[in-house]
Amino acid sequence: MIQFVATPIGNLKDITLRALEALRGADVIFCEDTRHTLKLLSAYEIRKPLFSCHKFNEREAAEKILSASREGKNVCIVSDAGMPVISDPGREVCRILREAGEPYTVLPGANAALSALILSALPADRFTFLGFLPEKKKERTALLERYASARETLIFHSAPQDVEKDIGDLYAAFGDRDACAVREITKIHESAEPFRLSEGLAGEKRGEYVLVVKGAEEGQDPLALLPVREHVLYYMRQGLDKKEALKRAARDRGVPKSELYKETTDL
């Protein structure tokens, strides 16, 4: 049997009874970082053989998982925190197992994105989880532009060293919106700080963040919320020359083209 097992995202007491039962009954456990998982297992006096399964060896690990399962062994797959596969290793393992016709199941549990959504107090009836933004600027810009008009709440993961840049890029793509920065979920210093994208997030950035951003308003053109310069650049990135980009941006905003020109002289 192969089981993808959710583990705590902070507080070790957030592990489920089923997860403990599965880990205790496992013959082998594949994990993102053996040192990290060892701390969790030690807290519950569980001793099992550990093997790594991370983004650099996932295909090789998948073959070992498949082989162990076919030998009749109980296999558990965990990430450092939360649900495997979701912004963590495991997707390639799922694909290989599916193609091989090998059954597997999942033991649900702690999830940072959903916890942050609740803590943010932003609309939760419809939402889209987008995880970490792409590192390459072109891919990042394309992704954000695709969701600029989305009405649902958007959820992103962000490392502390990337928070300021990520918020800046969200503002450039979406214009000014309500947002919330959630960090240290389930830990002593858990916090959920509301802010506006135009203002950014004050203070030292520590810990892993979940950025929750309100969707575009109903009946509102999200492009008109962008700073003038970013609005014009949006159309220029689509291949339009500056004159046509200015014309379209002015039409979106309901103002004369001349009103925008002075803010885009260097484009």
CB environment 199-216: b (16+ within 10 A), e (fewer): eebeeebebbbbbbbbbb
116 and 92 within one domain: no
pLDDT at 219: 59
Q: Determine the angle formed by the axes of helices 228-237 and 242-253, rounding to 10 degrees.
A: 130
pLDDT in tens, 174-233: 888 999 999 999 999 999 999 999 899 988 899 899 999 999 887 566 677 778 888 888
Q: Tell me: do 141 and 102 sit in the same domain.
A: no
Residue 49 has pLDDT above 70, yes or no: yes
Read off φ and ψ for residue 50, nearest 5 degrees.
Answer: -115, 135
Q: Domain check: are 139 and 101 in the same one? A: no
Tokens of 10: 């902070």
163, pLDDT greater than 80: yes
Asked if the structure places residue 267 within a domain, the reply is: no
Q: Are residues 215 and 255 in the same domain?
A: no
| Domains in the chain, number | 3
Does 257 share its domain with 206? no
User: What value does the mean pLDDT take over residues 11-31?
Assistant: 97
**pLDDT of amino acid 264:** 81
Q: How confident is the model at residue 245 (pLDDT cuts 50, 70, 90)?
A: confident
pLDDT value at 257 more than 80: no
pLDDT tens string 82-123:
999 999 999 999 999 999 999 999 999 999 999 999 999 999
In a domain, 182, yes or no: yes
Query: What average pLDDT does range 110-139 have in this prediction?
Result: 96
Is residue 178 domain-shared with residue 256, that is, in the same domain? no
Size (the chain), residues: 267
> How far is Cα 158 from Cα 164, in angstroms, rounded to an integer?
9
Query: Which residues, 6+ apart, have CB-to-CB distance to 163 below 8 Å?
Result: 181, 201, 205, 209, 211
Q: Which domain holds residue 76?
A: 2-107
pLDDT at 210: 98
- Which of the four pLDDT bands, split at 50, 70 and 90, describes residue 41? very high
Output phi, psi for 153, to 5 deg. Answer: -65, 140
Q: Is the pLDDT of residue 53 over 70?
A: yes
Residue 81 and residue 36: Cα distance in Å, rounded?
9
Asked if 192 and 92 sit in the same domain, the reply is no
pTM of the model: 0.82
